[in-house]
A and B are shown apart, each in its own frame.
Chain A
Amino acid sequence: MNTQDAVNLNGATVDRDHALHLLRSMIRIRRLEEKCAELYSATKIRGFLHLYDGEEAVAVGILEALTRDDAVVATYREHGHALIRGVSAGAILAEMYGKQEGCSRGRGGSMHLFDNKTRFYGGNAIVGGGLPIAVGLALADKMQHKQRVTCCFFGEGAVAEGEFHESLNLAALWQLPVLFVCENNLYAMGTALKFEQAVQDITRKAASYDVSSAAVDGMDVLAVETAAKKAAQTVRTQGKPFFLECRTYRFRAHSMYDPELYRPKSEVEEWKKSCPIATFARKMKTEGCIGNVDIETIERDVAREINEAVAFAEACTWEPIEDMTRFVHSERRTP
């Protein structure tokens, strides 16, 4: 099959390289997560492990809209965000192994990935806890006249927390450059949106704080990317917050401990039909933008990346126990 350099989709032009890049990014997340699940079963990884299968289009589409200078604040379901932001799969896996070469020196684990080089501020396991911090990062940028965006990911469960409301109010009141990204996967652990929100249209809550908002199909990477670029542009040029709701779904249980009693299997199967990776690949193939060979190449490259990451994590070393209290406080007084 011959491939073409660019295709027109819903009025937007997508070039082949970019399509391959988006597809590769989503596949990198999916394969990393599959490996995590496997390593978890093999007891190489311990603690809580929250996987992202089904939601890849959100991290990939949103992070396309950020520059290297922007900041990212994430939750405990953040492997994909860290990976796409530029943290290596090796550093991520080493962290989950608890090794000192991990991106948080083995002190964080799956839920607390951090990386200062890419301004990746974690990795927060308190639902809603990252929202005020994102507001503060944006405040610091504004006070220092830096034209940067702080992007904050959180689930729809966080919308019920007081910190969500405090943060939106502060960001709007002080006109701060925060891109709030709600990953609405319809469930907060086992509690469906309808059992936790009196008003289920989340964008209305943002509107009530006078924060511009939009909702987008979170299973469609191009739609997320387009919406994110527009949103980030608004934040960057107007220096004020924007709220983007990405409607998505997680295919796996909340965590590896979750017996998933709260939703029918058929619902999951139904959603799997709109898998962001499969649907995007299919669309690109139908349009003649990519071929089977391209997908095989991506899969082969990603498999190599993940295998090398596992080998790296395996070979990494343990922090000496004598260093346990390192980083409780800073080692030097002057910041």
Chain B
Amino acid sequence: MSSDETNLQKITYREAVREGIREALQKDERVFLMGEDVGRYGGCFAVTKGLLEAFGPERIRDTPLSESGFVGAGIGAALGGMRPIVEIMTVNFSLLAADQIINNAAVYLYMSGGQFNVPIVIRMATGGGRQLAAQHSRSLEGWYAHIPGIKVISPATIEDARGMLWTALQDPDPVLIFENSSLYNMEGTLAADAGPVDIDKARVRRPGKDITLITYSASLHKSLAAAEILAKQGVEAEVIDLRSLRPLDEKTFLDSVVKTHRAIIVDEGWRSGGISAEISARIMEGVFYDLDAPVERLCSVESPVPYARHLEEAMLPQVDQIVNLIQKMVGAHG
């Protein structure tokens, strides 16, 4: 972030994503955006509002309801020399395009022995918390992170929402960007001249010495809130924002665990076979003897996402649960 405080502007996560897209369209002729309702409607989350007027229907391309068709067309366009940004309304609907993402985008370079790159960026909204029930609330980014050949990133901050896209577009390989829909209204400040950020490295969002919280996306903010509460009780939690789920920057979280000797993973995804299981395993493999307590995980309850507010809240990891779990861990093994 710029040190020049006067340069800071108030901006929402939604606007930051939009500015990232706008800048990419301005900088590179080959970049275009396509997806359902990205143009005339303005984007189902209003992310792409105004872009059609600025760039025209060739580059802000409304598609029919054909997830597999237009994601595949994005792959073909990338093979043909363009730099498509493909928007899928939400990860739930990406399942109709999973074939193109997993069976084509992720393997084209490999199957062709290094001959054909697929420089596509696929953006999609993810996450629950808005009472949309089971078919509109999935967090499947960890599930995509299982697949070699694609990169999976998830911006949690305004700066990342603005800056990750350009870096992803510079990548010769397919990159999936997951934007948690509960973050779109989040406000923050950002330098007017904020530019691209790296997409490879995790970040320590809050330093601490007593326990490591490993998280990403919307759960980052819950974890930071929990860390604030704990700080008042004398427990200093270090909070790590993974940013990238594939590849995982394990050095950053392993170094932290070596320092704090305790780790908890907070993830809106499910526990069984989820990314939290992977992170936990890597801690065991990498720094087991540095641990003072078993690694703990706070994930979503293993049910489809319910509609009723109280059920949904109980289903997703919440701040007080994080606080309670950490108190238990620190207390029991102090």
Confirm or deny: A123 has a beta carbon within 8 angstroms of a beta carbon on chain B.
yes
List 7 other contacts, CB 8 Å, given A104-B113, A169-B64, A330-B117.
A123-B111, A126-B103, A137-B79, A140-B80, A167-B73, A170-B69, A325-B148
What are 26 A-B contacts defined by CB distance under 8 Å? A103-B113, A107-B110, A108-B113, A112-B111, A116-B116, A122-B108, A122-B112, A132-B69, A132-B71, A134-B76, A135-B69, A136-B72, A138-B76, A138-B80, A139-B80, A140-B76, A140-B81, A141-B80, A143-B32, A169-B64, A170-B63, A170-B64, A330-B109, A330-B171, A330-B173, A331-B114
B76 x A137 contact (CB < 8 A): yes
Q: With A132-B68, A143-B58, A333-B171 known to touch, is A107 a contact of B113 (CB < 8 Å)? A: yes
Shortest Cβ distance from residue A104 to the other chain B in the assembled complex, whole angstroms: 4
Partner of B72, one of A103, A115, A129, A332: A129
How far, in angstroms, from A144 to B28 measured CA to CA in the complex? 13
B66 x A326 contact (CB < 8 A): no
B80 x A107 contact (CB < 8 A): no
Shortest Cβ distance from residue A153 to the other chain B in the assembled complex, whole angstroms: 15
B116 x A173 contact (CB < 8 A): no
Interface size range on B against A: 35 or more
Determine the chain B residues whose CB is within 8 A of the CB of A103 once the complex forms: 113
Determine the chain A residues whose CB is within 8 A of the CB of B172 once the complex forms: 330, 332-335
- Residues facing B in A154-213 (CB within 8 A) are 162-163, 166-167, 169-170, 173
Partner of A104, one of B99, B111, B148, B151: B111
How far, in angstroms, from A116 to B149 measured CA to CA in the complex? 19
Q: With A121-B79, A136-B77, A326-B114 known to touch, is A163 a contact of B109 (CB < 8 Å)? A: no
Determine the chain B residues whose CB is within 8 A of the CB of A326 once the complex forms: 114
A131 x B72 contact (CB < 8 A): yes
A166 x B104 contact (CB < 8 A): no
A116 x B74 contact (CB < 8 A): no
Shortest Cβ distance from residue B296 to the other chain A in the assembled complex, whole angstroms: 32
A136 x B74 contact (CB < 8 A): yes
Q: With A108-B111, A136-B73 known to touch, is A329 a contact of B173 (CB < 8 Å)? A: yes
B76 x A133 contact (CB < 8 A): yes
Shortest Cβ distance from residue B198 to the other chain A in the assembled complex, whole angstroms: 11
Q: With A132-B69, A166-B66, A330-B173 known to touch, is A140 a contact of B79 (CB < 8 Å)? A: yes
How far, in angstroms, from A327 to B173 measured CA to CA in the complex? 10
Confirm or deny: B75 has a beta carbon within 8 angstroms of a beta carbon on chain A.
yes
How far, in angstroms, from A114 to B63 measured CA to CA in the complex? 29
Partner of A107, one of B84, B111, B148, B173: B111
Confirm or deny: B78 has a beta carbon within 8 angstroms of a beta carbon on chain A.
yes
Interface size on A, residues (CB 8 A): 50
Confirm or deny: B115 has a beta carbon within 8 angstroms of a beta carbon on chain A.
yes
Complex: chain A residue closest to B81, CB-CB: A140
The CB with the most chain A CB atoms within 10 A, among B70, B114, B115, is that of B115
A162 x B68 contact (CB < 8 A): yes
Confirm or deny: A71 has a beta carbon within 8 angstroms of a beta carbon on chain B.
yes
For the complex of A and B, 5 pairs with smallest distance between CB atoms: A136-B76, A132-B72, A140-B80, A105-B113, A166-B69
Annotate B112-125 by CB proximity to A: 1 below 8 A, 0 otherwise. 11111101000000
Annotate B71-112 by CB proximity to A: 1 below 8 A, 0 otherwise. 111111111111010000000000000011001100011111
How far, in angstroms, from A333 to B173 measured CA to CA in the complex? 8
Confirm or deny: A75 has a beta carbon within 8 angstroms of a beta carbon on chain B.
no
Confirm or deny: B170 has a beta carbon within 8 angstroms of a beta carbon on chain A.
yes
Complex: chain A residue closest to B149, CB-CB: A328
Partner of A106, one of B113, B151, B173: B113
Shortest Cβ distance from residue B289 to the other chain A in the assembled complex, whole angstroms: 29
A116 x B64 contact (CB < 8 A): no
The CB with the most chain A CB atoms within 10 A, among B63, B74, B75, B80, is that of B80
Annotate B40-82 by CB proximity to A: 1 below 8 A, 0 otherwise. 0000000000000000001000011010111111111111111
Complex: chain A residue closest to B171, CB-CB: A333
Partner of B82, one of A123, A140, A170, A334: A140
A132 x B76 contact (CB < 8 A): yes
The CB with the most chain A CB atoms within 10 A, among B58, B63, B116, B119, is that of B116
Confirm or deny: A124 has a beta carbon within 8 angstroms of a beta carbon on chain B.
yes
B82 x A144 contact (CB < 8 A): yes
A136 x B99 contact (CB < 8 A): no
Determine the chain B residues whose CB is within 8 A of the CB of A328 once the complex forms: 109-110, 148-149
Partner of A169, one of B69, B81, B171: B69
How far, in angstroms, from A170 to B36 measured CA to CA in the complex? 13
Confirm or deny: A54 has a beta carbon within 8 angstroms of a beta carbon on chain B.
no
How far, in angstroms, from A215 to B297 measured CA to CA in the complex? 60
How far, in angstroms, from A104 to B173 measured CA to CA in the complex? 18
Determine the chain B residues whose CB is within 8 A of the CB of A329 once the complex forms: 109, 149, 151, 173
Q: With A124-B104, A329-B109 known to touch, is A137 a contact of B148 (CB < 8 Å)? A: no
Q: With A71-B80, A132-B73 known to touch, is A114 a contact of B111 (CB < 8 Å)? A: yes
Q: With A129-B104, A328-B149 known to touch, is A135 a contact of B72 (CB < 8 Å)? A: yes
Q: With A126-B103, A140-B82 known to touch, is A114 a contact of B76 (CB < 8 Å)? A: no
Determine the chain A residues whose CB is within 8 A of the CB of B76 once the complex forms: 132-140, 150
Confirm or deny: A239 has a beta carbon within 8 angstroms of a beta carbon on chain B.
no
Partner of A133, one of B72, B113, B151: B72
Complex: chain B residue closest to A173, CB-CB: B64
Confirm or deny: A61 has a beta carbon within 8 angstroms of a beta carbon on chain B.
no
Confirm or deny: A80 has a beta carbon within 8 angstroms of a beta carbon on chain B.
no
Determine the chain A residues whose CB is within 8 A of the CB of B151 once the complex forms: 329
Confirm or deny: A218 has a beta carbon within 8 angstroms of a beta carbon on chain B.
no
A114 x B113 contact (CB < 8 A): yes
Complex: chain A residue closest to B103, CB-CB: A126
Determine the chain B residues whose CB is within 8 A of the CB of A71 once the complex forms: 80
A170 x B116 contact (CB < 8 A): no
Determine the chain A residues whose CB is within 8 A of the CB of B72 once the complex forms: 129, 131-133, 135-136, 163, 167
Confirm or deny: A276 has a beta carbon within 8 angstroms of a beta carbon on chain B.
no
Determine the chain B residues whose CB is within 8 A of the CB of A241 once the complex forms: none
Confirm or deny: A90 has a beta carbon within 8 angstroms of a beta carbon on chain B.
no
B77 x A143 contact (CB < 8 A): yes
Annotate A264-308 by CB proximity to B: 1 below 8 A, 0 otherwise. 000000000000000000000000000000000000000000000
